[in-house]
Chain A
Amino acid sequence: MTNVSNAFDEQKVLAKFLEENTLFHAPDPEIMEDHRVGARNEMEESVLSKGMDPHLVNEVRGRLLAALDESNTMIEQMGAAPGAKWGDIVAAIFTANGDLSMISPHGVVGFAGCCHYPIKFISKYWKDDPTVGIRDGDGFIHNDARYGGIHNTDQSTIVPLFWKGKLVAWLSATIHEGENGACEPGGMPAAAESKFDEGLKMSPFKIIENFQIRRDLQTFLQNSVRDPKLQYEDMKVKLHSVLRLRERVLKVLEEFGEEALIGTLRKNLEDVEVEVRRRIAELPDGTTRVVAFPDSTLRENVLMKFNLAVTVKGDRMLLDFRGSSPEFLNRSINTNQASFKTILLTCFLQNIWPDLPQTLSILSPMDFIFDEKSVLNGSFDTPQAMSLIPLFKAMTLPTIPMAKLSYMLPHRYTSIVAPQYDQPATLIYGGLTQHTEQVGNFCADINGNGQGGRANADGEHSISPPFAAMCDIGEMELIEEEIPIVRLGAFTLAKDRVGFGMYRGGLGYEQIATTRGTGFWGFMTGCTGSVFTPSQPLFGGYGPPVYPLCKIRNIDIFEKLKSAPENINFDIIDLMNNQPIEGATYSTHDMGMTFELVQPGEVYMICQGGGSGYGDVLLRDPALVAKDLEEELISHETALDIYKVIIDPVTHFVDEIATKELREAERRARIARGKSFDDFIQEWNTAEPPAYLPYFGSWDDRNVIYGVSNGQRIRMDGDKLNSMFMPNPKDVLIGELQAELSRARLELAKFGV
């Protein structure tokens, strides 16, 4: 007995020693792996156990939403970052425990959804630290996604709210700022080989005291980024928006009292969780699966598997991501599970249950399983600056299993929709503007992804980013006024480049950009889906096509437009197929382009992607095909080859009888092309991924994971993953060139040269 007691005391002493001698407060797994709303605190328990009038709660909630709306409007109006101007912002209120209770009506829920992690970190580590502490008038800044966040380009200001000396809530404001001093401008460096290339990595720290930003710390941050003006302006914007929110919440406290506020914030979470449980319980019990295959690390082409099995049992849902690709030690496309889960919340709100209040507790009835060191659950040391690659996938991935689970429900909360195009297809830029300002950021085109086809309608063209509603692709005239980009192709729907189906996806649009009026400018793109179709279709539709990056270099198109404009059309296909500019270098690439300098008049072209198709193409109403043709959304070839609709090329009238015959013939041909399941397995099933394929993830058994590290295929147990190390593509190229040179020398040697 004595020995046990001694051992216990010793343990306590050791634990205390370690606590007092912590070298570094890294992200705390206890915080980062917990997506659920925590237990009620004492005050919440005391208020809610007495019961609350739901109508009073509604009144208080209305007041808080009005305050959040006001705060969000301030961010949008005052903000300087393109993200702020075009809607990538949010203001939010959290409980005293740090659980996200409410966000502003038009905010990006994902931004707020991950702020509860840094708040919990602040509460756990800084509250009682004598060198930091939490006092009225304090405010914290944060951007490192490892401590909670989507990616490091988003910066949050977090402020504790005190009432009569007691901390009763937390408030936050977040903006996608863009530039953050990373190795590439714009805040999303695909070239980051380690987290030390990612620029600002702000663990939550205090930067506001007595309601004012500390100038010394502000200067440090300004000194660390390319755009000190932006850093300054938006820190101020976030502070004053949060202060306005604070003022309003204090009024609510004055008017309704502490119990009403605390009870409302907590009840909001609990009511929504109850509703989500009810909705999950409506679904049939069972498991359904989906996989996705991003095709690039943004440095090289690979095939990564994202594996998801959704299991519903009663009022709980399990999302199992085991079997997905391992993490990459020196590629920036990893994410961590905290960011990933937050984005899954976004997916549910954007695609499945858009009528639900936007709060964290939607995730409470859900469980998640990841392999350790998977690309979706990356470890602390992995670079995560381009986590958008997995995160954009997470914004659409559950739509397919959820469509299957909910298709037969008598009540639908919204339309069943095939996945939206799920990549950030936008030009990221950096350099010196025509007004001699140094900038680095991204274009608002990120907000214009094509929607997937729906159970009752085509997808809408370029409708929103997959992470939020009511975002803006901007006005080109205003953008060109500020930065030295000239968009020759500004907004032209990309003909034929969409997921076909009974209801097709919405189209994306071409972005043809060049630059002038600057001596220093460059572009990058951070997008997968140039080799393997980016989004999955639903119920027999087609996925969207792959989208390349095209370049026309070694010319100044402005000169050509002056001297010989006749054959130059601002159309990617026309420019690339007909190559109308003599002397130019035309090239096609995948859309994972790291930052490269651009000469004035060189042309870079990408395409905002289209949504996936819904249902069989042969079921598409021929009248809709004719309409698409008339609107130049598809070509005659597509009408005929894909939809099997015969349309007069001049009148656009559908030949109904011939179409019917053609479709019948195609159905018969399909049957003829078909084969038995056993034959199919015999022909297609292999024990391992093909040797030539740089494949990452499980193949058949989700417990066995494949990867390629330092050029070598490896096979791992799912619970013992290694981090993948990728050689520098330049080294690979040098190696290839050297080998080629050696071969050439050998050849020449044969001739005695």
Chain B
Amino acid sequence: MKRVSVDIGGTFTDCFVAWGGKYLQSKALTTHQNLALGFNEALANACAELDVTVPELLSQVDSVRYATTLGTNALIERKGPRLGLLTTMGFRSSVPLARARGYGAGLDQKQQLDVPNAKRPDPIVPIPMIKEVRERVDYEGDVVLVLDEEDLRSKIRELVDKGAEVLVVVLANSVVNPEHELRIREIFLDEYPGHMLGAIPMLLSHQIVGRKGEYVRAMSTIMDGFLHQVMYHGLGTLELNLRASGYDKPMLVNHNSGGMAQLNSTDALQTVHSGPVSGIAACEHLAASTGLGNVVATDMGGTSFDIGLVAEGGVKHYDFNPVIERWMVSVPMVHLVTLGAGGGSICTYDPVYQTIAVGPRSAGSDPGPACYDRGGLEPTVTDADLILGYLDPQNYAGGHIKLNPRRAKNAIEESLCDDLDMEVLEAAKLIKRTVDGQMANGIATELRTRGYEPEDFTVLAYGGNGPLHACGIANALGARKILAPPFSSVFSAVGAGSTAQMHLHEMNTWTVLFNANMKSFFNDYDGFNRNVEELERRGREDLVRQGFAPEDISYRLELDMRYGNQRVQTAVVTDLHRLAGQHDVLKLIDQFDKRYGERFGEGSQATEAGVRINTIRVCSFVNQPGIAFQNLVPSSDHLPPPAPVGQRACHYVGYAEPIHTPIYDEAALLPGTLIEGPAVVVTKATTYLVEPGWRYQAAAMGAVWFTRVSQ
């Protein structure tokens, strides 16, 4: 397999190249003005190692795939066109109000509770750019008020006159009956034909989201409209760059659903968060191909800690209403939680509880931790790690950043020591203990709210600060095994290289499988099957358009189900593709009961209240070979460690005295090398801390196992 996969992040562009049996990773700084430049540099580095030219490589690879945070950055910077919104009469303040709770979406809990200081984010569509359309459709799709076309024409003109560069249409219940949304587009094209100069795009909400929920559907459509041009230009430039460099196949873009598609079959919204989601996809692929079982993916960077979940047996965990930047949207995104805990998290004294609070504020990379010596004065997690002896001041981040221990010491001393009545070292240990505990609590909550126990999971630790804190987190979590995966510093790019071409299509439905009041069962099998067939047809069209044969396409049916009038929708992946009779209905109920019981506890099922399907989702995909991970199970033939490259006095939580800790260079550690903790292993990109009571074992492909040996 020859393939290039790329993760364009806010700071670095990570590149992973599969070239026959060889795998190469490289990095370059992201060039925001032209993403192709950073990509070219990263690719050129890889090509140099392979001793091939870029055109030679690109002409031979089966695909080039991108995961990117481009959309997230555009949202943060509000870099996008002026949008106009047409919505149903009586609904014009739905978007500005953001379901009330929207003021706190994307913020940490402290900010959410501070209502007197609440501030909704600057809107993507300002209130004057929202116009009502005289129409109304009810929940079943019946037209209550026929679209007033004259009124519509004047509203469109108003928005165009106000400078709208993109028009977004969100009508109530359009997912049940899109007649009015479609008619609006016809009229719009009649008024403003597409071939005219200055023609502007119009997005219809029912074509972006298949679910009910007018606010989240509106935000999804708005974001799509807002990001479209930025994404199109950004990714289009990349595609042109590829063409100019000898690549003649369609460029592929990773989606936040965990799948991937060609650029011409990708919505802008589907690309947001596709970087971190690709990391989870890599975990899923790795777990499936190496028999790891349940895996919790943890990515600890400078400012945040991402947690993803890969359960054995194909159980899918989505966020149906994820928050993107500051807005809740409707898109089935692979479940991902971000905590405000990273190396740059700022540590403060908590006067109420007389202890330390870590985060969620972060020093970021500018000014960064105090030890960066760039003007940061507040102590951070990285400062504590430095004081405790884990980091080499001269070789941090591959030697790119020189750390100043005196700054770190001063920051901790001045901000914390007096209040805590502690020496610097004790305060630093407390910081580590606190942040590790916070991250462990975050992981535990994530797993447990979905019915899992941490001890049944292998922790995968990647990201710049992941392997440094992995043992501490695992100690607090009660986990015994950690895997720092192969190519962990470019792991999202690895994930991009392993995902399948996939499309999700959803349909809102009111399908009562068991009516508790009437004691009756669902029996409109043809109607249900027709809906599934329609969703399969849409998926098939997407994939055929991208050159796949219909017979290569597989389908997975997922149903979001609930008891009675609950809010929760549990995604049930079923092996049924069609319903043929009562036995299938009972089988679905049984599958739902089982999954629900696993999630919320046996006995919590409320079948007696009735069982309903809310959403039908069909996942259409074409399986393709991913990155071939070798068997990562550690060898029983242990190799002794080579001579350490150095030694430092390191301080550990729970140990009063410092321990002289050997330092190893990862490059010298062959697969099978076993090191008993404490130890520090330095790589080009990060530092592995093997805490006392833990064992380090190098495995194939640069993977590393950490195993707890003490109780």
Contact = CB atoms under 8 A, between A and B. Distances in A.
Partners in one complex: yes
Interface of A: 54-55, 57-59, 61-63, 65-66, 69-70, 73-74, 76-80, 84-85, 87, 105-106, 212, 229-230, 232-233, 236-237, 240, 243-244, 248, 271-272, 275, 349-351, 354-357, 414-417, 435-437, 447-448, 451, 454, 457, 460-464, 469-478, 480-482, 486-493, 509, 512, 516, 558, 561-562, 565, 569-570, 630-633
16 contacts: A59-B433, A232-B609, A233-B565, A244-B600, A355-B114, A475-B213, A476-B91, A480-B138, A481-B139, A489-B90, A490-B90, A491-B90, A491-B92, A561-B144, A562-B146, A570-B89
A349 B115 CA distance: 10
A271 B354 contact: yes
B100 A472 contact: yes
A561 B136 contact: yes
A55 B433 contact: yes
Contact of A240 (B96, B134, B216, B600): B600
A54 B354 contact: yes
Given A59-B437, A233-B563, A488-B136, A469 B115 contact: yes
A414 B441 contact: no
A414 B144 contact: no
A85 B567 contact: yes
Q: Which of B352, B356, B437 has the most CB of A within 10 A?
A: B352
A481 B176 CA distance: 11
Interface in B92-136: 92-94, 96-97, 99-101, 103-104, 109-110, 112-120, 126-128, 134, 136
A616 to B, nearest CB: 20
Contacts of B517: 229, 436-437
A473 B441 contact: no
B103 A354 contact: no
B247 interface: no
Contacts of B96: 461, 493
Contact of B91 (A87, A473, A491, A631): A491
B138 A471 contact: no
Interface string B188-216: 00000000000000000000000011111
A55 B568 contact: no
A57 B93 CA distance: 45
B20 interface: no
Contacts of A349: 113
Contacts of A512: 90
B434 interface: yes
Contact of A84 (B120, B138, B563, B567): B567
A248 B90 CA distance: 46
A460 B355 contact: no
B601 interface: yes
A490 B96 CA distance: 13
A613 B306 CA distance: 41
B114 A414 contact: yes
Q: Which of B94, B114, B118 has the most CB of A within 10 A?
A: B118
Interface of B: 88-94, 96-97, 99-101, 103-104, 109-110, 112-120, 126-128, 134, 136, 138-139, 144-146, 148, 172-173, 212-216, 350-356, 430, 433-434, 437-438, 441-442, 444-445, 448-449, 510, 512, 516-518, 563-568, 600-601, 603-604, 606, 608-610
Contact of B116 (A87, A354, A471): A354
Contacts of B603: 212, 240
A490 B109 CA distance: 29
When A and B form their complex, which 6 residue pairs have the shortest distance between CB atoms, in order from nearest? A77-B568, A570-B90, A240-B604, A66-B441, A631-B127, A85-B567
Contacts of A356: 352
Contacts of A106: 109, 112
Given A229-B564, A447-B100, A478-B212, A414 B116 contact: yes
Contact of B606 (A232, A244, A463): A232
A58 B564 contact: no
A469 B112 contact: yes
Nearest to B603: A240
Contacts of B518: 436
B352 to A, nearest CB: 5
B219 to A, nearest CB: 11
A230 B563 CA distance: 11
B565 A470 contact: no
Nearest to A63: B441
B97 A509 contact: yes
Contacts of B352: 271-272, 275, 356-357
Contacts of B97: 448, 461-462, 473, 491, 493, 509
Given A62-B438, A447-B100, A460 B118 contact: yes
Contacts of A78: 566-568, 600, 604
Contacts of B354: 54, 271
Given A233-B609, A481-B212, A490-B91, A271 B353 contact: yes
